[in-house]
Amino acid sequence: MNAETVYRVDNAETVKIKHYALETLRADLVGIANIGRFAGAPVKMSPQGVMPSARSVIVMAIHHPDAAIELGGKKHPQEIGPYQIQYHMNWRLDDMSYRMSNFLEKLGWNAVPIVSSNIWRYRGYKDLKEQFAPDVSHIHSAVAAGLAEYGYSGLAITPEFGARVRFVTVVTDAELTPSPLLEPGSVCDSCMICKRECRSGALSKEIKGWNVIEYEGRQYRYANKNLWRCSWGEHFD
């Protein structure tokens, strides 16, 4: 039996968890990664760093309303407008990750919910050289869980919603069936609309090649951009 066949046959615990995510928590998407997919991540940015006994990572997502995306910042980039719905979405995602962790504990497993907006280190710390480093990246987790692939922009792009989606991650020692990975290049077609529309120049100036991430022999990449340009809108409004 090959790996792809194994992925399609969820074990009993995986079936329960996906059903709970979709039917009880009302997630729009749910996917699962095994811990092996994070083998190349720095310890301080990995599920293993949060829970050394971790075996699986559960990622849930909710769709960002289209009109809120299209109208947010339309008058001026620093007037958030209807895009502020993301703050309610973050609350909902935090509640989902908390309830999923409680559900896992009732099944006899340990779990750590990662907050939706994450904890960021703006500059490197000790042996961690990366800037804007989260404890666990929801973007990387979403790709590792088969929900998305990286766009040129570095956003996680899903087949269902594009980049108009927010994710939350739960780390657990439950041994769950991993979801199939999306093939690199199957969602992002490198149309470069993101590059054209980015007002900060984050996707057109000071690009230093590519960030390359490998999961199970598949290589994914996204632009190695100047994150301080990106953060001017994302983190500093």
pLDDT of residue 74: 78
pLDDT of residue 232: 74
pLDDT of residue 236: 62
The answer to whether 141 touches 93, Cβ cutoff 8 Å, is: no
Paired residues of 157 in beta bridges: 149
**Element holding 69 (H helix, E strand):** helix 66-71
Work out the burial of residue 82: count CB atoms within 10 Å of its CB; fewer than 13 is exposed, 13-18 middle, 19 or more buried.
Answer: middle
User: Which residue ranges of the chain lie beneath pLDDT 70?
Assistant: 1-8, 77, 118-119, 233-237
**Element holding 112 (H helix, E strand):** strand 111-114
d(CA 164, CA 90): 14
| 91-93-95-98 Cα dihedral, nearest 10 degrees | -140
Q: Beta strand pairing status for 120-121 and 133-134?
A: antiparallel
